[in-house]
Every structure is written in structure tokens, then in C-alpha cells.
Amino acid sequence: MVLLSIYILIGPLAWLGLLVLLLIGRSRMMRLRQKAYPLPERLPKVTVIIPAKDEAERIEQCVRSVLAMDFASFDVIAIDDRSRDNTGQILDRLEPEAKGRLRVVHVAPDALPAGWLGKCNALFVGSRAATQSDWLLFVDSDVIVQQDALRATLALAAHRKYDVLTILTRLECDSFLERMMLPLCAGLWSVMFRISLTNDDNGETAAANGQFFLVRRTAYEAVGGHAAVRDQIVEDVELMRLLKSRGFRTRFMFGSHLAATKMHSTLRQMFHGWGRIFSGTARRETAPILLATTFLIVAGFSVYPALFYGIVRIVRVGDGIWLLAGVCHWLLMMLFLAMIYRGSGNRARYMHLFPVSASLLVAFLAYSLRLCRTGRVTWRGTQFSAGAPTATN
């Protein structure tokens, strides 16, 4: 009975808790899907800022999708951030085609200031070039936006008087590995760090997705912009935390119908990419979140021996309590995973590969714990130390 109680605690009850957290979180983040809001009578000016480093494969699609948005008052600044491929040449070719709506800024290879990470510097450079804008929209170069993306998000933010609005985008998954792993990693990240609490004005918890990050210029400048998070490996999360701590209204919404993102394709990219995201969001002082999540995922494997043992006990002694507990555990896991995969715009059938995907996920989390311990992160061939949030007046 003691063993059964332990199993129920770390199995069915733990996954029931995860499912409840997921359902509550989703209910707080559906406003963009529930209602279309009217735009203000006087359209504010928006500048879209796109940082790009060695993104030749995707940058043209991204820029063209942004320029095609059906909003009458916006321009685009694309930052060629020390690219070694032909990203800069592609942007230069697109600039005259945009007829004044696109400006290209090149960051020279030796122009990265000391103490800055490259993306933070590129975003800050772009923000300094946007001198006449009421709002700034930061869009990653691997994102494709829909025509109504800016109109829908700005209308909501203006109508509800939000200062910052970020969205979860749809994950574009082409390979088997991407379809199996990326939705699981993204979904677990959202539950681990309780991203829906970003929408609670009375709490301190905040998170963000820098793939699509809309912010009032006055709020951005009040906290020092990206200069305040210049050495942070998850600058989007840290900037959102800083904005919320200063009293600005922050929101995180589902927006898979408004934008799509192409993330990590290979196993190596996933290790480094998700290691950076998990460890950077957790910060070194909150690494126990990663440890607890790793334990929970490992404990999920107990469903399989529990089901087998339950079948054996029914056959031998007619006792079905173990089988009932195992079935409840399995159903709760599958329901949770199905919501995770479908929520990212992917098929739920990959939930049945949990023994494989969870094993890789545990490896990602273990790597993240190591990064939390050492503070050394490798990303895009560059190794650097993860710093603490920087105070900026």
C-alpha cells in the first residue's frame, strides 16, 4: 500500500496537476482567439524590427511577410547583425523593392560593444533607429507573420491598454525529430515557468517570446530597452520581467493563427537551443525548477511498469487498483501531451512516442542544469557567460 501511495503521488496526481495548470493557463491566454478588437481612430505608428545573423535561408520570407501585413501605419527596420553569409545582400536587394517602408542597418563584424550579446545589440540598434514610432514590434528572422498579425495584436493592446503583448507562435516542424520534440519542449517550458501568470497584474511572474514582441515605445525606453538586458541569453524574458516589475501591463497570448516559427532542426541545435532557453529562463538561482521537472518527467515512465503490474495482479489475485491507477496515469499523460502538440499546431499522434521524446527531454533538462551550474552557454558557435540582470536607469 505504501508503494501504491507513492506511485499515485508521483504518477497520476502529478500529471493531474500538470493538466490543471495547463488548462488554467490556456484560459488566461485565449483573448486573441476569442474576439477581434477595433483599431484606434488615430492609428499609432509602429516600427517592426527584425534582427538577422546568418539567416539567408529564411530572411526574405520573413521580411516579405512582414511587409505584406494589412496595417496602414508601419515601417520595417532589418538589422544585418555581422552576418557571414549573404543575409546582408538579400536585405539590400529587398530595400528598394519596399519603396521606403524598409530600412536596412548593417552591424559591422567588429562593432559589437563589450559586455553586449549580439542579438541584444542588434535589437537596441534597431530601436534607436526607430525615432518616430509609438510602438515597437520585434520579430525574429525565422518567423513568418500573417497579414492580420499586427492589426490584431495592436488592436487588442490598445483597446485593453496593455503596454506589452507577446504571443506563442505556431511551430513549423518539417522533420520527424522536429514534430516529436519541439512541441513537447515548448509546451513544457510554458507550464514550467507558468507563462500565463504574465497576465496577472498583481503578481511578479513574467515570461515572453521574442519571436513576436510588441511594446509601447514609452514603456520600452522607461526601462532602458535592450541596454538593460544586454548580457542576457533570454533577453525577451528578462525584458518582460523588467517591464512588469516597473508596473507596466504585460500580456502573453496564444497567437498560432498569427505567426509561425521555424526553430531548431537538428538534435545538436535542440540541445544548445533548448538548453539556453530552459537555463536562461530559470536563471541559476531558480534551477530547482529544472530539477523538479526532470524528476517529474522521469517519474512519468512509471506508468508502464504500473500497467504491467496491474495486469499481473488482476490475473493472479483479482486486485484491479494498480491497473486503475496506471490507466488513470496514462490517460492524464496522453491528454496533457495531446493538448501540448495540438496547441503548437502539430499532430497529437506524436504523444504516443513519449518514451523516446521524454528520454531526449530529460537529456535537454540535464544539459540545462549543467548550464545553470557553470553559467557557460554555447550558441551559434560562440561561448559566453550568462550574466545576472543588469540594472539600468
Complete DSSP assignment for 154-192: HHHHHHHT-SEEEEEPEE---SHHHHHHHHHHHHHHHHH
Same domain, 248 and 302: no
Instruction: Kindly state whether residues 262 and 297 are assigned to the same domain.
Output: no
The answer to whether position 244 is within a domain reads yes
- Residue 389 has a pLDDT of 46
Q: What is the pLDDT of residues 343-358, one digit of tens each?
A: 887 888 999 999 999 9
pTM above 0.75, yes or no: yes
Q: So what's the pLDDT on residue 391?
A: 41
Q: Judge whether 348 lies within some domain.
A: yes
Residue 135 in contact with residue 44, Cβ under 8 Å?
yes
Q: Is 254 helix (H, G, I), strand (E, B) or coil?
A: strand
Q: Regarding beta strands 46-52 and 74-81, do their DSSP bridges make them parallel or antiparallel, or are they unpaired?
A: parallel
Say whether both 309 and 354 belong to one domain.
yes
Structural domain span for residue 352: 2-23+285-378
Q: How confident is the model at residue 297 (pLDDT cuts 50, 70, 90)?
A: confident
CB 307 within 8 A of CB 297: no
3 state SS of 240: helix
The long-range contacts involving 291-296, CB below 8 angstroms and separated by at least 24 positions, are: 291/369, 293/188, 293/192, 293/365, 294/362, 294/365, 294/366, 294/369, 296/10, 296/14, 296/18
* Per-residue pLDDT at 286: 64
HSE at residue 114, side-chain half, CA atoms within 13 A, is 0
CATH number of the domain enclosing 269: 3.90.550.10
Question: Of 175-189, 194-208, 289-303, which range is least confident?
Answer: 289-303
pLDDT at 374 over 80: no
The predicted structure's pLDDT at residue 378: 59
Say how far apart CA 249 and CA 240 lie, in whole Å: 10
Please check whether residues 62 and 162 belong to one and the same domain: yes
**Based on the domain organization, do 257 and 294 belong to the same domain?**
no
With beta carbons less than 8 A apart as the criterion, state whether 143 and 212 touch: yes
Instruction: Give a yes or no: residue 392 inside a domain.
Output: no
Summarize pLDDT for 180-193 with one digit per residue, the tens.
999 999 998 998 89
Contact 101, 128 (CB under 8 A): no
Task: Please check whether residue 30 lies inside any domain of the structure.
Answer: no
Given a contact cutoff of 8 angstroms between Cβ atoms, the answer to whether 335 and 179 are in contact is no
**pLDDT tens digits, one per residue of 334-344:** 999 999 998 88
Number of domains in the chain: 2
